[in-house]
């Protein structure tokens, strides 16, 4: 590959990475907005007090045939109801109220799922573009400097990616200087 086409390929990879990162950042803002709307919706979840009879209670030294208890119903209790009130008319009415509330929030929930899927896809695209930049054999020290600046800016850079970057930078330095700086295991 001649120098011009090599540089053009490098420039295209850098642009691809920068575009992917910009798209990811824009989608992150949309995701945050959808998350905020979803959390605001969740705060409007209905709650209700329910009073019901509990049969056959024993806690030494007290035994009762039954007693009256009051609980606060919430979304968790809809999914995990107590057998003591699962068939109580007030509980069943609350379950219907929650179902209507969830229908009202279906659009908000769907928007969050879509924003999450879009952001995840954008992150995957950014990561793939990052790997292309990190593993591309640069042609000069200016490109090497640019590679390091771009790759270091990845906020999700973990040990695996850091090792990948380090290995390819070592290869670039070896190729550009004619001196292999990588250490060999003894």
> Which pLDDT score is estimated for 53?
84
Structure tokens at 132: 């292309």
> Which pLDDT score is estimated for 56?
77
> Average pLDDT for residues 16-36, to the nearest whole number?
95
pLDDT tens digit string along 109-158?
A: 999 999 999 999 999 999 999 999 999 999 999 999 999 988 887 777 78
> Which has more pLDDT, 183 or 3?
3
User: Does 160 score more than 50 pLDDT?
Assistant: yes
CB atoms within 10 A of CB 115: 21
pLDDT tens digit string along 105-121?
A: 999 999 999 999 999 99
Q: pLDDT over 70 for what percent of the chain?
A: 95
> Which pLDDT score is estimated for 152?
80
Question: Rounded to whole angstroms, how far apart are CA atoms 63 and 43?
Answer: 40
> Which has more pLDDT, 185 or 105?
105
Residue 172 falls in which region: left (phi positive, over 0), alpha (psi -120 to 50) or beta: alpha
> Which pLDDT score is estimated for 142?
94
Query: Chain-wide mean pLDDT for the chain?
Result: 89
User: Does 184 score more than 60 pLDDT?
Assistant: no
C-alpha dist (Å) from residue 72 to 48, 62, 88, 105: 6, 25, 14, 22
| SS3 category, 34 | helix
> Which pLDDT score is estimated for 186?
43
User: Does 185 score more than 60 pLDDT?
Assistant: no
> Which has more pLDDT, 185 or 35?
35
> Which has more pLDDT, 29 or 54?
29
Structure tokens at 3: 């120098």
Helix axes 141-152, 106-135, angle to 10 degrees: 150
Contacts of 87 (CB under 8 A, 6+ apart): none
- Rounded to the nearest 10°, the torsion over CA 95, 48, 106, 38 is -150
Q: pLDDT over 90 for what percent of the chain?
A: 67
Question: Rounded to whole angstroms, how far apart are CA atoms 165 and 108?
Answer: 40
């Amino acid at each position: 590959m001649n120098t011009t086409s090599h540089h053009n390929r490098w420039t295209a990879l850098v642009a691809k990475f920068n575009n992917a990162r910009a798209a990811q950042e824009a989608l992150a803002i949309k995701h945050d907005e959808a998350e905020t709307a979803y959390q605001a919706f969740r705060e409007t979840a209905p709650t209700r007090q329910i009073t019901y009879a509990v049969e056959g209670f024993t806690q030494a030294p007290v035994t009762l045939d039954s007693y009256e208890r009051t609980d606060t119903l919430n979304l968790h209790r809809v999914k995990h109801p107590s057998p003591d009130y699962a068939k109580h008319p007030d509980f069943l009415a609350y379950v219907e109220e929650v179902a209507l509330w969830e229908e009202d929030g279906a659009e908000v929930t769907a928007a969050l799922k879509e924003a999450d899927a879009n952001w995840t896809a954008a992150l995957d695209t950014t990561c793939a573009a990052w790997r292309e930049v990190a593993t591309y054999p640069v042609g000069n020290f200016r490109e090497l400097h640019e590679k390091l600046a771009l790759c270091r800016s990845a906020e999700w850079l973990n040990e695996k990616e850091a090792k990948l970057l380090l290995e390819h930078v070592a290869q670039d330095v070896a190729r550009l200087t004619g001196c292999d700086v990588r250490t060999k295991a003894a």
